[in-house]
Amino acid sequence: MDFDYDDQNIFAKILRGEIPNDTVFENAHALAFRDIRPQAPVHVLVIPKGPYVSLDHFARDASAEEQAGFFAAVAAVCEGEGVEGGFRAISNARADGVQEVPHFHLHIMGGRSMGPMLAN
Ligand code: AMP
């Protein structure tokens, strides 16, 4: 599969510093920031700094260092956000996944019961 990365997407602009964000954690390979339309008391997006469209693109093509850096950021967010009670991690991909922003991101949501996995 070809993954065609659009460097004008809003998260690419955040990574270039063209749009502000509410950063909660950053390392060499990943940035974590608060979702602008939070759907739970904790709603953080973790994104790689590299140009990956979706989870399957990142899993296939990102280096071991990039993948380790990304998951280190996930761990830091979970620890820092106080989601000892649990959380939900979601990554939407392409049309069927109803992905809005074409730069891979993991939603980390918690701070309340997240309810059934799918509403429909
Ligand atoms: P999706 O691509 O459907 O998985 O979701 C994209 C998410 O990005 C949505 O939850 C939006 O609220 C969020 N979002 C869009 N623009 C921004 C922004 N400038 N800062 C933070 N979150 C954003």
| pLDDT surpassing 80 at residue 120 | no
Distances in Å between the Cα of 103 and the Cα atoms of 38, 72, 79, 80, 92 are: 18, 19, 24, 24, 10
Give the tens place of pLDDT for each residue, 16-75. Answer: 999 999 999 999 999 999 999 999 999 999 999 999 999 999 999 999 999 999 999 999
Task: Report pLDDT digits (tens) over 67-113.
Answer: 999 999 999 999 999 999 999 999 999 999 999 999 999 999 999 99
Specify whether domain 20-82 bears CATH 3.40.640.10. no
The residue ranges of every structural domain in the chain are 20-82
* Short-list 104, 120, 87, 81, CA closest to 31: 104
- Tell which atom from ligand 1 comes closest to the C-alpha of 105: 4
Q: One of 29, 57, 103, 105 is an active-site residue; which one?
A: 105
Pocket of ligand 1 contains residue 9 by CB under 6 Å: no
Instruction: Tell me the pTM.
Output: 0.98
φ, ψ at 76 (rounded to 5°)? -65, -40
Q: How far is the CA of 36 from the centre of ligand 1 (A)?
A: 6
**Placement of tokens 């399957």 in the chain:** 56
Whether residue 89 has its Cβ less than 6 Å from ligand 1: no
Query: Which has the higher per-residue pLDDT, 118 or 22?
Result: 22
Instruction: Indicate if 103 belongs to the active site.
Output: no
